[in-house]
Amino acid sequence: MKLEKSIELFTKGQKHLVGAVNSPVRAFKSVGGVPLFIDRAEGSKIVDVDGNEYIDFVLSYGPMILGHRNRKVEKAIKKAIKKGYTFGASTKNELKLAKIVCNAFPGMDKVRFVNSGTEAVLSAIRLARAYTNRDKIIKFAGCYHGHSDALLVAAGSGLATLSLPGSKGVPNDAVKNTLIAEYNNIESVKKHIEENKDIAAVIIEPIAGNMGVIQPTSEFIQELRKLTYENSILLIVDEVMTGFRSKFGGAQELLNIEADITCLGKVVGGGFPVGAYGARNEIMEMVAPLGEMYQAGTLSGNPIAMACGIATLKVLKKRNPYKDFEKTAKNLEKILLDAAKEHGVDLQVNRFGSMINPFFTSKKVIDFKTAQSSDTDKFKIFFWKMIEKGVFLPPSQFEAWFLSTELSVKDLEKTKKAINKAMKKVAEM
């Protein structure tokens, strides 16, 4: 397998880009070797600068749910580009996308579009504090909600991958109002509520995706919603990753809960930078220009991103691929477990909708602590063998794999063969 051009670009990139990348997980630090530089993509495939083709399970970490360069989505983008790139003024498509999103989420009357999941979450936190006149928030260890200061503590994925407990440059004052609870442990939440009377919000990934895919138990998530109601604490559900990936709408509906504030991104932009936060009227009317909670963005509601988002969601709703996703994920889970069993490798597989994650551990993975019991050296070997066999995975044990509508039977057969080869290699270590 040749990676000469990726190596050359990585070397050149060191001069003017930090680490030759624009996001730490792209640096491949947890798996070693040189990161791949991608040239193009179409359908279920992605191609690097050396011409190596891969079945794509990264999908830009989720948004490419229809695969790459969907015909109808691309047509909508080209039409929008002909009208201009950005105006710093309102456009009709902002209203269209807002209606689609609000209709997909019970309890969401209004939405505000931003440019990233990080922006959506930091704005939601500010809104919760404005609405409740309280300062503290509870987050869960291993859940990642973007890189804003108040939430960059006990986060998952990138920080876990790099073995960093937090980040330099985040002052103590920025996180003094952030309380850490344990995912799937309601007692850890109760303890904070008993000891703190000024909690504005609890923020949670309804299905964790940044410490690997981890579902909440029904008892935990129901009790969490009950506790927040009883204590006038807002529940912020971060569906940046899960939005539109398990149904047309959010995972919260499948879990039988309703958020006070919902954060979105990824699929809503269809591949362009989009984030959003939304809630019922009484909460959203706190946001400027209706209220005193200020948040703004010159590129928010960008016309190209709005066109891409509308087209993506329209195709997704018409196609309704969610039963097929469940079938494919179940099949992929069996392939992974069968290969692990055949080669005597300890493996757990968690999945939800079109998200799936193998963990190289014998322990059932239910929270950040159990996720960290995974053997990352085994994952490293597994990752590179999969790359060699033409399957592109997230370069971290703690990142979810994503499915697209373009994943074919032939793709799955090739993936199955790659998994068997990779698991055999793991067993030989």
Catalytic-residue membership of 294: no
* Angle, helices 376-388/409-427, rounded to nearest 10 degrees: 130
Measure the CA–CA gap between 273 and 306, rounded to whole angstroms: 10
Question: Using alpha carbons only, how large is the chain's radius of gyration in Å?
Answer: 21
Catalytic-residue membership of 54: no
Within 231-280, where are the H helices? 251-254
The residue type of 341 is: K
Closest listed residue to residue 67, CA positions, set 271, 268, 240, 317: 271
Strand 38-42 and strand 45-48: the pairing is antiparallel
Measure the CA–CA gap between 426 and 374, rounded to whole angstroms: 13
Within 105-261, where are the H helices? 117-132, 157-161, 172-175, 186-195, 218-230, 251-254
Looking at 29, 136, 139, 266, which residue is catalytic? 266
Looking at 238, 260, 375, 411, which residue is catalytic? 238
Measure the CA–CA gap between 203 and 401, rounded to whole angstroms: 23
Looking at 54, 61, 144, 183, which residue is catalytic? 144
Strand 234-238 and strand 45-48: the pairing is unpaired
The residue type of 25 is: V
Residue 208, helix vs strand vs coil:
strand
Catalytic-residue membership of 144: yes
Q: Which residues are catalytic?
A: 144, 238, 266
